[in-house]
Structure 1
Amino acid sequence: MRAVEFQEYGGPDVLKAVETGTPEPGPGQVSIEVAYAGVNFADLKARAEGYRVPSLPYVPGLEVSGRVRAVGTGVDGLSAGQEVTALTRGGGYAEVAVAEAAAVFPLPDGIGLRTAATLPTVLPTAYALVHTVGRLQPGETLLVQGAAGGIGTAVGQFARAAGAGAVHGVVSSAEKAAYARRHGYDEVFVGDFAAAVRAATGGRGVDLALDPVGGETLNASLASLAPFGRLVSFGNASGAAPWAVGQADLAGTGLTVSGFSVLSLAATAPAALRALAGKAFAAVADRTVSLPVTAEFPLERAAEAHRLMGSRSSTGKLLLRVSAG
């Protein structure tokens, strides 16, 4: 089968199209004939620095859509030919991928395979950040780093549907700011944001801040919280040392800091992931939330998709087209 893999860590050029063996599902697993694969920042971190890579060579790709090819022993409710979307543990940049059955989801009515490839990581993450972990209440204010990315795009819409009082975003360019304003954001700040957030909230700060960056950005997000505010860390794109927050940082105004990773949730609490995904996917099916595909590449051009995402100029969702027939 065709796949894209890397045999060493480095820039996008280490991604190579290869012919390799077709994987078979083990007990509790499902193999999927891939139509589309989503491109995520975690794929770039895997390629560049070995993030969640067990060994080399490695086929990246955490989310796919397609049709069930085969099911392993102990799998119920899924059958060959069924259209599904899935969260994998790697291997998505290929004609056939294997996923744990608990992370394979039949497509909701009205959702095609192309849209389905945008769902497995981004939508459950965005839903959890707003509702399950962030616990946003009507009238509260929100600050989102990376507001024009896939997760940021969905978060803005989820927050607006939840009755947020104001949704503020942070991006890296004026073009991204314009995009974010079209997807649920009231005000969008380019670059430094701490002073602008205080000004926009009359000095109060925001009730909820969502941070995938870490490092100094996380510290500035924490400093942007209103009394009793919450911060959710869901990534470390900066590569900074893991954050550490103590009682002295939080007690003065009753702040809360928490973390979230959809990949960790899939590994440790798959039933919770299924419940979360069901709620998130329903919001797409009823058109509460949409996630635009802003660029699509053939599988063999995965390196171009990585270059685009790595340039920090992309918005929305990037896909690889594997076999859409």
Structure 2
Amino acid sequence: MNAGGTSAGGLVEVVLPGKVEPEGLELRHGDIPGAGPGQVTIAMEATGVSFAEQQMRRGRYFDQPPFPFVPGYDLVGRVLAVGEGVDAGLVGLRVAAMTKVGGWASHVVVDAADIVPVPEGIGAAEAETVVVNGITAWQMLHRKARVRAGQTVLVHGANGGVGTVLVQLALAAGAKVVGTASARHHDALRAQGVVPVDYRTEDVPTRVRMLAPGGVDAVFDHVGADSAVDSWGLLAPGGALVSYGSASTRDDEGSGSWPILMLIGRLWLWNALPNRRRAYFFNIWAGRKHAKNRFRARIGADLAQVFAAVQRGDITPRIAAELPLARIAEAVRLAESGTVAGKVVLNP
């Protein structure tokens, strides 16, 4: 990786040049980008390493751009400048934005319509942990599965970036939560009120059936493949499976799209069967292309709900580590290690 730190006077961004090891990521310096009409330039204060970027560096993220590009799924920062037609009063405001790519940079240009204000009292790193992870968890829990108080839910990867937020939101909704994680995370999960299951040493379906003989009301599954089959079989009548990835195929060779397409086909088939269960594939970007204004309104409203949950104490942001952009290789390796709880956050 090219050496060097960030510069207050210019742009610093991380470039993914191709299918490389973390040390192959490159730092690139340039001029701070200007905001065009309807846009804002954000001085990044925090971005993060999501599972999406882990897949992207392997060339296995569905719909990723061609190499080279700047990764970075979301960010939090201060509005540095505004373009034509944008309220100048936004300058200096701390905001959050989803970018899908481009967030691993000291300065990022986004459409003003895509920013969401971060409430006072929530720090940049704390807010960063609940942008894409919080929106994903909120929408899966409340818009898809529609979990209610008294129900039982199963959260795979309960110690992960999305999982940690999902667990807390489900508990705040009054649900009983069973969460899969390696043994090192079990004490922390128990302290929250989660019933932990060790996916490495236990037979997960057997253990969950012992805990919920009548089935669970919702399963949130990012693993895909055979795990999705088991998850579907664990549902109670009227239950919902929300699948949102294929983590089990992260290190496979070949097409990154094929496992997702296979998974979506399987979910479609299950929904076509005469049963009282539901299966969803969750895509946070659904609707953006054809109903952009409605998509933006939904994202803004749901992230505001997540920030409010942080302010109430329903969500405690889980920061696994904070590292500067210049240490991106170390940050990516830590995020991919499976040893941390929460999100690895990057700062400029």
Helix, strand or coil at the partner of 2:58:
helix
Q: Confirm or deny that 1:16 pairs with 2:18.
A: no
User: Identity rate of aligned residues, in percent?
Assistant: 36
Tell whether the 8 Å contact from 1:6 to 1:16 is kept in structure 2 after alignment.
yes
Q: Confirm or deny that 1:115 pairs with 2:115.
A: no
Give the distance between the partners of 2:321 and 2:112, measured in 1 at CA.
29
Structure 1 residues 78 and 168: alpha-carbon distance in aligned structure 2, compared to 1, 3 A threshold = farther
Amino acid aligned to 2:236: A
1:59-84 deviation digits (Å, cap 9, x = unpaired)? 11111111101223343486222111
Shift of 1:19: 1.2
Q: Confirm or deny that 1:232 pairs with 2:242.
A: yes
Corresponding residue number in structure 1 for 2:306: 280
Residues 23-34 of structure 1 aligned to structure 2 (within 5 Å): 23-34=33-44
Question: Which of 173, 183, 200 is equivalent to 1:174?
Answer: 183
Question: Which of 24, 30, 54 is equivalent to 1:44?
Answer: 54
Tell whether the 8 Å contact from 1:37 to 1:93 is kept in structure 2 after alignment.
yes
Give the distance between the partners of 1:205 and 1:250, measured in 2 at CA.
21
Structure 1 residues 184 and 87: alpha-carbon distance in aligned structure 2, compared to 1, 3 A threshold = farther
Corresponding residue number in structure 2 for 1:297: 323
Tell whether the 8 Å contact from 1:144 to 1:209 is kept in structure 2 after alignment.
yes
How many residues matched? Answer: 319
Corresponding residue number in structure 2 for 1:254: 276
Corresponding residue number in structure 2 for 1:86: 97
Give the distance between the partners of 1:251 and 1:315, measured in 2 at CA.
38
Helix, strand or coil at the partner of 1:181:
helix
Amino acid aligned to 1:301: R
Question: Where do 5+ consecutive residues of structure 1 fail to align?
Answer: none
Shift of 1:290: 1.2
Helix, strand or coil at the partner of 1:228:
strand
Tell whether the 8 Å contact from 2:267 to 2:280 is kept in structure 1 after alignment.
no
Q: Confirm or deny that 1:271 pairs with 2:297.
A: yes
Q: Confirm or deny that 1:4 pairs with 2:26.
A: no
Helix, strand or coil at the partner of 1:48:
coil
RMSD (Å), alpha carbons:
2.0
1:211-231 deviation digits (Å, cap 9, x = unpaired)? 112111111111111112101
Give the distance between the partners of 2:130 and 2:89, measured in 1 at CA.
18
Give the distance between the partners of 1:314 and 1:70, measured in 2 at CA.
36
Structure 1 residues 198 and 266: alpha-carbon distance in aligned structure 2, compared to 1, 3 A threshold = same
1:150-187 deviation digits (Å, cap 9, x = unpaired)? 211111111111111x200112x211233333344123
Residues 89-168 of structure 1 aligned to structure 2 (within 5 Å): 89-164=100-175, 166-168=176-178
- Scaled by the length of structure 1, the TM-score of the pair is 0.91
Tell whether the 8 Å contact from 1:71 to 1:78 is kept in structure 2 after alignment.
no
Amino acid aligned to 2:113: A
Helix, strand or coil at the partner of 1:68:
strand
Shift of 1:246: 4.7
Question: Which of 208, 218, 237 is equivalent to 1:197?
Answer: 208
Shift of 1:299: 0.8
Amino acid aligned to 1:216: D
Corresponding residue number in structure 2 for 1:59: 70
Tell whether the 8 Å contact from 1:221 to 1:231 is kept in structure 2 after alignment.
yes
Amino acid aligned to 2:283: S
- Scaled by the length of structure 2, the TM-score of the pair is 0.85
Corresponding residue number in structure 2 for 1:321: 347
Tell whether the 8 Å contact from 1:88 to 1:100 is kept in structure 2 after alignment.
no
Tell whether the 8 Å contact from 2:46 to 2:75 is kept in structure 1 after alignment.
yes
